[in-house]
Amino acid sequence: MNTARFGWRLPRVFAHRCGGALAPENTLAGLRIAARLGITAVEFDVMLSADGSPWLVHDETLERTTTGVGRVCASSDAQLHELDAGIRRHPAFAGERVPTLAAAAAACRQLGLHANVEIKPAAGCEELTGSVVARQVQQLWAGTEQPLVSSFCEAALQAARAVVPTLTLGCLFERVPTDWRERLRRLGAATLHCDAGLVDDGVIAEARACDIPLLCYTVNDPVLASALFVRGVAAVFSDRIDLIGDDEVAGGCPTKHRSGGSRR
């Protein structure tokens, strides 16, 4: 499969939400853990604050992963800076902050990590989030290998493409729609992403015939990961990077253990 369009080899495994299940999601601690385990690529979510700044948060609200309350898009940069994004995961991570996209980009560059930046717009902020994230990505990764920028939101991807035409884009779906090729063509997207439990062999074969890498989320069982690679899936996003690692030499799925469930 031709991955020259990325400027870097597409890895087989991305650490989901920075460090998967081993760290508070979307934190710099997760990036450090992923790098220590030899993972070469990470995925994280980006949403805008009330000040229009991009921060690493998955949910539209703060309660699940931080000590904050309310909507991310209604919270100022100053408020987000004060939140603890680690204590809810484990006391050992107390004091871990919600990182800005700038902080995450700097950490990725320092640790030698490739990135998949997922645009996660709050309702009503689709185009703005896409354009802000695109400009930030262009600036923060200037002079180095650019990240893959993906989203479930086509409007956000269209806005990103409009302001930075050179971005490498990925289209996210749960189940791949029948018109996926037209959607990717319209956006100039390079990758197709979908739920591992909803992918079928017809889509895999079609993507391979079109030389489009197919990436599946969220794969936490090494046996399932291996089976997906055999079927023709190019890469997986995993919470269990302690069980599933990137094996670029053998082209298989190395397994540090042979057990482990899948958590979506």
What is the set of active-site residues? Answer: 16, 58
From start to end of the chain, where are the E strands?
Answer: 13-15, 41-48, 54-55, 114-119, 148-151, 168-172, 191-195, 214-217, 235-238
The tokens of 79 are what? Answer: 């408020």
Calculate the alpha carbon distances from 191 to 194, 220, 227, 232, 250 in Å. 10, 21, 20, 14, 23
CB-based contacts of 94, cutoff 8 Å, min separation 6? 84, 86, 87
User: Which among 128, 123, 137, 113 has a CA at the least distance from the CA of 14?
Assistant: 113
Written as six digits, the tokens of 223 are 């046996």
Tokens 């017809």 map to which residue?
202
The SS3 call for residue 257 is: coil
Q: What is the DSSP letter of 83?
A: -
The C-alpha torsion from 82 through 86 and 90 to 91, rounded to 10°, is -40
Neighbours of 88 (CB within 10 A): 17
DSSP string covering 158-210, please?
A: HHHHHH-TT-EEEEE-SSPPTTHHHHHHHHT--EEEEEGGG--HHHHHHHHHT
Residue 184 structure tokens: 């990717």
